[in-house]
Each structure stands twice: as structure tokens, then as C-alpha cells.
Amino acid sequence: MTNAKYYASVLLMGCVFYAGHGNAADITLNFNATVVASPCTVDTDTVNKTVLLGQGRASEMQAAGEGTEWVDFDLLLTTCPAGTNGATVTFSGTADDDDASAFKNTADATGIALRLASRDHATTYQNNSTLTQTVDSSAHTATFPLSARMFTPKGQPGSGKFAAAVNVSFTYQ
């Protein structure tokens, strides 16, 4: 999926057309087009990526906001064409019922959700959030450093399995 970030416009002014021997009329023709950046290649490790969050203990997440240790991972774009200077990832998925800034657990553990964040944990990503990275012009790559963890929005989660799905789409500038 590409977004049009490069635009081209052509404006021809003052074209004169003669129809026989009558009066001349000035006509302005406007042409608009879109030139889209070529896509990068999504690295094979990024396609259908599974992030293993390990095992959390409900007894260690009794208070609201507590969670497991953060797990770092990267999304990687490679072979970005020359002229592609940036890429944006958009995250989408089902929001948690108790915390719209988190993604819903679709397995059977209760009271637990997925927190997706920047590597330094300062920015939280939720449904329809975006992250833009500059494409390295010499390596022709873009890396999106992220972290994830299980956490409890309200406290006192129930034990069980955990699974959450987050879709990502890339646009290029």
C-alpha cells in the first residue's frame, strides 16, 4: 500500500487555438497527477511475525497497570527504492474492552491485554496509531523498534492463555 507523498502538476497556460479566421480564445488546461513512492520489501522475519511474550504470573499483576517484562522486537523494511525517504506503519486491531489504548486478548485469560509501545516505552500505540521512520538512504532500510507486554488494565487477571493480533500496514514517502 502506498500513499501519494510526491505530487506532480503540469499547468499549460496561454494555449491559443484558431478556428478558421475568427477571434482567438485563450484556454487554460490544468493537468494533475500523482506520483507514488515505490514500496520497500517487508523483511521475511517481519511478515507474520510472532512475538513471544513468555509466561506471566497473575499473582504478580494484582494492581491495575501491572504487567510482564517488556519484550523488544523490530519491524524491518528492506530494499527501499532510491527516492523513498520515509515509511509509516499503522497499527490496527481490536481494542481491549477495559483499556482502549491496548489490544484485546483473544484467548481465555481474563483481565489481561497487550500493551504495544516504542522501545523506550514512552509512546503507547493503539488501534490506528502510526509510527514514521526515516529510510536509511545508504542501506535502503527502515527499522521500527518496538516493545510489547501483557498487562492488566484493572488488576487481578485470571489465568489462562493469551493471544492478541495486531495488523500493520506500511505507507511510503
Q: Cα separation of 94 and 72, whole Å?
A: 21
Angle at 126 between CA 121 and CA 127, to 5 degrees: 160
Q: What is the pLDDT of residues 105-156, one digit of tens each?
A: 999 999 999 999 999 999 999 999 999 999 999 999 999 999 999 999 999 9
The predicted structure's pLDDT at residue 11: 33
In a domain, 123, yes or no: yes
Same domain for 28 and 84 = no
Q: What is the pLDDT of residues 58-95, one digit of tens each?
A: 999 999 999 999 999 999 999 999 989 999 999 999 99
The predicted structure's pLDDT at residue 44: 92
Same domain for 20 and 82 = no
Domain range spanning residue 16?
A: 6-35
Contact 36/166 with Cβ under 8 angstroms? no
Number of domains in the chain: 2
Same domain for 48 and 25 = no
Same domain for 30 and 67 = no
**For residue 4, pLDDT beyond 60:** no
Contacts (Cβ under 8 Å, ≥6 apart) of 52: 71
In a domain, 128, yes or no: yes
The predicted structure's pLDDT at residue 36: 66
Same domain for 118 and 74 = yes
Same domain for 19 and 93 = no
Same domain for 21 and 52 = no
Same domain for 78 and 29 = no
In a domain, 159, yes or no: yes
